[in-house]
Structure 1
Amino acid sequence: MPRPILEKALLASIFLPTFMLSECPPGEFCGPSVDEFFPEPILFAGTPFELNRVLLIRVIAFLAVVVLLWLATRALKVVPGRGQVAAEFILGFVRQGIVFETLGERDGKRFLPLLMTIFFLTLGLNLTGTIPGLQIPSTGLIGQALLLAVIAYVTFIYAGIRRHGLKFFKNATVLPGVPLLIMPIIAILEALSTFIIRPVTLTLRLTMNVVAGHMLLALCFLATNFFFFTVLAQGNFLGLIGVGTFAFGVAFTVLEIFVAALQAYVFTILTAIYIQMALADEH
């Protein structure tokens, strides 16, 4: 099954029947659907480099993150300006508040580049859902979240094997002090939790939050458009309800900015915690 079709099936299975995959009849109000995450190609159609709107936004977000970080750090001054203060605060928050606080300074320095990349890339891709003209989070495609989860998964297994060798798998599944009778059951549960549930929950938590947030924003602004330009345009003053849906849309946009940052934080700190657990001698 082609990857876009598989991703659409996965999203549809999660959110249907709340957001139906259907065409909207002219003059009627229809809510958003997961089809929005799978638009038609706009560049390089029919080639391995085919880009649709969501993937193009992903490229723009990546370049924007790289450029902003470069501009923020290219000419650091002893007496910082406001931009440098803001950059130092955010970078310091990730460095000290997430990485060093979780892993300690020695191990934190080893994994700092990766965790910084995960945080800022996830944040940038999430925020595209609230930027006018873009207005869709590319992390809503489950493949993006899955890729980040696989990177986190491989990293903590690599860290554990490098620190403990194959003993890492014993440390991850066999809890000290567990009665011998139930030890096999506990070991199976720990193996499922560590090696299967972790990447699945990382993937679904990020994807479902950003998809739900996008659907909520799209619902508010589609309703605003419907009430103003369909209902009110026909002389029906019920169209003024659009003022309320627009206000809700603005409020939810602010909320989604917070959620975008929160999900980047959660994904990064969970990755750091998993690495720390892999490096630990035992539970």
Structure 2
Amino acid sequence: MSLIATSVIRAAGEGPHIPGPLDFELDPLFAGATKPMILVVLSAVLILGLFYAMSRRAAVVPGRLQFAGEYVYDFVRNSIARDTIGAHDFQRFVPILFAIFTFVLVNNFYGVIPLLQFPSMSRIGFPIAIALVIWLIYNGVGIAKHGFFGYLKHQTVPGGISGPILIALVPLEFFSNIIVRPFTLALRLFATMFAGHLLLILFATGAEYLISSYDPKALGITAGVLSFVIGIAVSFLDMLVMFLQAYVITLLAAMYIGSAIAEEH
């Protein structure tokens, strides 16, 4: 069916809503602030408030809230930062990696919270901002350790390789390590959250249309209920993906930092 025909059907009030990019274009709620903007600010407030509450009454024998906070912190500190950057240099990067992980995780999980139901990272501007912060950090610490030209050599000349092959390798390494990384970081997070939310919209609107408007009614209700159940199953799978995306972007940030301050490329 052509886009024009689809638009005519939707304008006439017939047929299901067809999910698309326009579902992510939300009108401002007040003072020019859209829902994703408000959710991002809310996530910062929630994270600060929650971890303040977790640490306010810290004890040798932690309570449930303190234990949960320490578990998340230890996961980022030990399983990501120390294992990836190395035991000698990892500690100073734990705060930024912890902030990236929790910030992305909360904003991803908005997509499955009733009433909110919108993952902030499905708006490309936010992943781009996070990717640029990571890019500035790993390049900054690399330049601080090796010097500007030393860092360029470190990132573009693979160890143990010399000769004419460097004519081809140096531009490729520069393009890969310096130019492409922030784009791949941003696109990976954005595309996954965008596709996951679009899929949930598809099952939800499909179920609503089948149950309320499809004829024969019995078939519509049966298919609609099935669509709704599949949507719930997909939402649980999406929750796993939301966690993995927060983990992956934090892990990649740690890998890039570790590579930037390493002695050899």
Same fold, TM-score > 0.5, yes or no: yes
SS at match of 1:184: helix
Match of residue 125, structure 2, among 136, 143, 158 = 143
- Matches of 2:237 and 2:58, distance apart in 1: 32
Q: Cα RMSD between the aligned structures?
A: 2.0
The 10-residue stretch of structure 1 (186-195 or 64-73) with the greater mean CA deviation from structure 2: 64-73
How do 1:172-187 and structure 2 match up within 5 A? 172-187=155-170
Shift of 1:235: 6.8
- Matches of 1:22 and 1:95, distance apart in 2: 51
Counterpart of 1:137, as a letter, is P
Shift of 1:61: 2.4
Contact 1:62 1:125 in 2 (8 A): no
Is 2:217 the partner of 1:236? yes
SS at match of 1:180: coil
Is 2:77 the partner of 1:95? yes
Is 2:114 the partner of 1:132? yes
1:40 corresponds to: 27
- Matches of 2:49 and 2:237, distance apart in 1: 26
SS at match of 1:51: coil
Match of residue 168, structure 1, among 112, 131, 151 = 151
Shift of 1:182: 1.5
Counterpart of 2:142, as a letter, is G
**CA pair 73-134 structure 1, distance change in 2 beyond 3 A:** same
**CA pair 280-219 structure 1, distance change in 2 beyond 3 A:** same
How do 1:182-221 and structure 2 match up within 5 A? 182-221=165-204
Q: Any stretches of 5+ residues in structure 2 without a counterpart?
A: none
Counterpart of 2:51, as a letter, is L
Q: Any stretches of 5+ residues in structure 1 without a counterpart?
A: 1-16, 45-49
Contact 2:211 2:217 in 1 (8 A): no
2:103 corresponds to: 121
- Matches of 1:204 and 1:149, distance apart in 2: 9
Contact 1:38 1:54 in 2 (8 A): no
Counterpart of 2:184, as a letter, is T
Percent identity between the two aligned chains: 34
Tell me which of the two structures has the higher relative contact order, counting C-alpha pairs closer than 8 angstroms and 6 or more residues apart: 2
Q: How many residues are matched?
A: 258
Shift of 1:174: 1.0
The 10-residue stretch of structure 1 (151-160 or 62-71) with the greater mean CA deviation from structure 2: 62-71
SS at match of 1:176: coil
